[in-house]
Amino acid sequence: MTLKISVPATSANLGPGFDSVGLALNLYLTIEVLAPSQQWEIQHELGDNVPVDHDNMLIATALQVSPELTPHQIKMTSDIPLARGLGSSSSVIVAGIELANQLGQLHLSVADKLAIATKMEGHPDNIAPAILGGLVIAHSYDGDTSYVAADLPETGLLVFVPDYQLKTSESRQVLPTEFAYQEAVAASAVANVAVAALLTGDMVLAGQMMEKDRFHERYRGQFVPEFAQIRELAHAQGAYASYLSGAGPTIMIMAPLEKVAGIKAKIAAEHLSGQLLTLAVDKVGVSVAN
């Protein structure tokens, strides 16, 4: 019987929630575990740069968790764009942990999966919603990860996915290595209010705070020339907020449901080089079916 593992895409930071706030989205990485084999064999159509053997991140992750796993044939499909700020690498890490959990019968708890994944990824903003679904605020320190999972207030989601890639490692190089005390306090206050507004359902205030981020967008925006234009267009059509998803270059727009179509039409009329996708929140996170 085929084992199927599904992991959602994620959008991290939500503006000032840098490295700590994330949202699961209804784009998916799907892993189908087929017959046992002499060696790991990955069937996919994700490009020549994605390995088809034990060097694939999926298998490398699984073997870190449980080195004695029996090799299998695996089919991997994904509609999560690579290196676009939608958690493509985190989805593979979560899938690899779940693959080890299922094949090795490890009975890992949510806390176990979070701890393992955060150690591998370095921070929980993408990992936590990929595991839990929905909106997750998380913090990891000294090997311990704490989180609050919640529902996002009813909100329309529209993403612009540029045709070019932007690796997180490159995007992190432009970030400052330290903040002055007053700047750190101000940036933290913005993040605190943004999270409080999200949790109390005030999307207008949440949107205002998201766009006052002081942690990363002012530095990373240089890599995404469409960002200012899309933010202006979205605001003119009544959006709550727009922000760089993760490290970028994808731009997320949050808006009242009834205004998403109008915003999408206005941006489409600009003929920018990229995809416009209307998405929804995934409320499940990683899932397993037999």
| Spatial separation of the C-alpha atoms in residues 119 and 90, rounded to whole Å | 12
At 1 the pLDDT is 55
Quickly state the pLDDT bin for 46 (edges 50, 70, 90): confident
pLDDT 10s digits, 181-236: 999 999 999 999 999 999 999 999 999 999 999 999 999 988 999 999 999 999 99
Rg (CA), the chain: 19
pLDDT at 257 > cutoff 90: yes
In the predicted model, what is the mean pLDDT of residues 69-95?
Answer: 94
Where are the CATH 3.30.70.890 domain residues in the chain? Answer: 156-279
At 169 the pLDDT is 76
Structural contact between residues 76 and 6, judged by C-beta atoms closer than 8 angstroms: no
The most distant pair of C-alpha atoms in the chain lies apart, rounded to whole Å, by 59
| Spatial separation of the C-alpha atoms in residues 248 and 258, rounded to whole Å | 26
| Spatial separation of the C-alpha atoms in residues 59 and 71, rounded to whole Å | 9
pLDDT at 165 > cutoff 90: no
> What CATH superfamily classification does 156-279 receive?
GHMP kinase, C-terminal domain (3.30.70.890)
| pTM score, whole prediction | 0.94
At 33 the pLDDT is 96
In the predicted model, what is the mean pLDDT of residues 29-57?
Answer: 92
At 267 the pLDDT is 97
At 290 the pLDDT is 86
Burial class of residue 195 (count of CB atoms within 10 Å of its CB; 0-12, 13-18, 19+)? buried
Range ranked top by mean pLDDT from 34-48, 87-101, 156-170: 87-101
At 117 the pLDDT is 95
In the predicted model, what is the mean pLDDT of residues 65-75?
Answer: 96
pLDDT at 95 > cutoff 90: yes
Q: What does pLDDT average to over the chain?
A: 94
In the predicted model, what is the mean pLDDT of residues 126-134?
Answer: 97
- Return the amino acid letter for 17: G
Quickly state the pLDDT bin for 3 (edges 50, 70, 90): very high
Task: Average the pLDDT over each of 134-143, 186-195, 251-260 and give the range with the smallest value.
Answer: 134-143
Mapped onto helix, strand or coil, the DSSP state of residue 109 is coil
In the predicted model, what is the mean pLDDT of residues 60-69?
Answer: 96
% of residues, the chain, pLDDT over 70: 100
Could you name the CATH architecture of 3-151+282-289? Answer: 2-Layer Sandwich (3.30)
- Could you tell me which of 7, 27, 5, 6 has the C-alpha nearest to residue 245? 27
Q: State the residue for tokens 């903003």.
A: 125
In the predicted model, what is the mean pLDDT of residues 69-88?
Answer: 93
